[in-house]
A = this chain, B = another copy of it.
Amino acid sequence: MKRKITLKHIARELEVSISTVSKALKNSEEISRDTKEKIQAFAKLYNYKPNNIAISLKNKRTKNIGLIIPDIIHHFFTTVFRGVEKYANMRGYNVIACISDESFDKEVINMEMLANGSIDGFIMALSAETQLKNDFNHLKEVTEQGIPLVLFDRITDEINCDKVIINDEEAAYQAVVKLIKDGRRKIALITTESYFNVSEKRSQGYFRALREHQIAVDENLVLRLPYQYEEEQQSAEFFASREIDAVLCVNEIFAIKCMRHAKKNGYSIPEDISFIGFTDGILSKYSTPRLTAVAQHGEKMGEVAAQLLIDKIESEVDEEEETFKTEILEATLVERESTIN
């Protein structure tokens, strides 16, 4: 077993001081050509690589970023992860990924674990429970310690930091407008039971579209489902008992499940009923019929978040009076088979 070699070993072996070795390997002008060549050759021979931990301790920079996402079953978050990882890697950073499992406690624990020196900054989307409790002290503590934080998608106004979101309200609005233009009038909204800022925004867009097109809102056409629901009776009953000619779902799993119920109740898609879902994930692409979806561009979102974060980490801005941006990405409607034309 070839143990890792350190500066000390090289110094001892070549009978010079540690500082000389360090400088020689950095090609410092201070050291003579001869010595530098000797040391560099030796280092290459024994495959010397500086110890990251020691360097981190020295310059108080880990080159790690912490990513905290609520879950990994929603394809959107995995694509964000992809984007973060890709961009971070490009800039020489590694990603420590944690899954909060939609739990407030796990979110707190993960943050605390990482906040003690393991990372240079955080990227995160709030867990369901955190949005519910409306408790952001863990975020406050972190930012007060001067650790940069970027929130994406599931954000809050309570915290002052960089943010990346899509124009959820507008995207939902446009989606519903499309349905209306296709001649649909009985448009249902399927959203989450508990509070998410994104569901909320999307619902607002839905209502605005109806309002602006003089279509009365029918509360019977709004279905609120538990976020991770297994029991499907609510949605099954919904489609069995109402007249609906279009549906907007705030995520793709809702959409896929509901298309099934619609089909089971004799609807044919998209002739009798249109479906549009949020999050253009893997399910949308492969469902039958393929789902028309609002693409959230998760990968792009991840890249932007990572860029904001790393820029902040590497900028030497004077503590106070720093300024925070909120990047709003454009969602786009990907038309497939579940809507007309």
Contacts and interface: CB of A to CB of B under 8 A. Distances in A.
In the assembly, how many copies of this chain are there?
2
B82 A145 contact: no
A218 B306 CA distance: 51
A118 B94 CA distance: 10
17 contacts: A1-B145, A3-B146, A49-B112, A52-B117, A52-B118, A54-B57, A54-B117, A72-B79, A72-B81, A73-B78, A75-B282, A81-B97, A85-B97, A96-B97, A287-B287, A287-B288, A288-B288
Interface in A255-292: 256-257, 260, 282-283, 286-288
A85 B56 contact: no
Contacts of A81: 72, 97
A220 interface: no
A144 B72 CA distance: 34
Interface residues on A, range: 35 or more
A16 interface: no
A145 B5 CA distance: 10
Contacts of A53: 53, 56-57, 62, 117-118
B96 A64 contact: yes
Given A51-B117, A95-B96, 4 more contacts: A3-B145, A52-B116, A81-B97, A96-B97
A110 to B, nearest CB: 8
Interface in A55-89: 56-57, 62, 64, 72-73, 75, 78-79, 81-82, 85-86, 89
A2 interface: yes
A297 to B, nearest CB: 15
Interface string A86-118: 100100001111110000000000101111111
B72 A94 contact: no
A116 B52 CA distance: 6
Contacts of A141: 47
A106 to B, nearest CB: 8
